[in-house]
Amino acid sequence: METGTRCACNYSLAIICGVFAGVAVVLYLAGLRCLDAGGRLSDTAWTCEIAPGAIHSLWGLVTPGIIAVGVVIGALVYFVVAALGRRWLFRYGKRLA
C-alpha cells in the first residue's frame, strides 16, 4: 500500500519560491541602504540616485551580510514550501490521480 505520492514538482516550486524570496529580501535591504545614504530609488530601474547625476545599481549596495540574510530567508522559504507541498500531495494526491 502506497502512503504518499512521489513527485518532484513540489521541490521545484520550493526552489523557485526560495530563490525569489531571497532576491526580494536582498533588493529590499539594498533599497533601505540606499535610502539611509540619502539616496532616492528609481521607479523603473533597480538604481539608486545618491547625488544629483550619480546613479548606482542596487546590486552595488549589496554587502556580504545582506547576502547572508537573503540566503537564510530563501532557505527558510524553501523548507516551508517543500513541507507544505508534501503535506498537500499526501492529503490530496490520491484524489488527483
Residues 6+ apart with CB under 8 A from 22: 70, 71, 73, 74, 77
Domain ranges (residues) in the chain: 18-92
Whether residue 58 contacts residue 33, with contact meaning beta carbons closer than 8 Å, is answered with no
Cα 87 to its chain centre, rounded Å, is 22
CB 36 within 8 A of CB 5: no
Report the chain's C-alpha Rg in angstroms. 19
What does the pLDDT read at residue 13? 85
pLDDT in tens, the chain (97 residues): 345 555 556 678 889 999 999 999 999 999 999 999 888 888 777 888 887 778 888 888 899 999 999 999 999 999 998 888 776 655 655 555 5
Look at residue 4 in the predicted model and tell me its pLDDT. Answer: 52
In terms of Cβ atoms closer than 10 Å to its own Cβ (0-12, 13-18, 19+), residue 5 is: middle
Would the CA dihedral through 80, 71, 43, 37 be positive or negative? positive
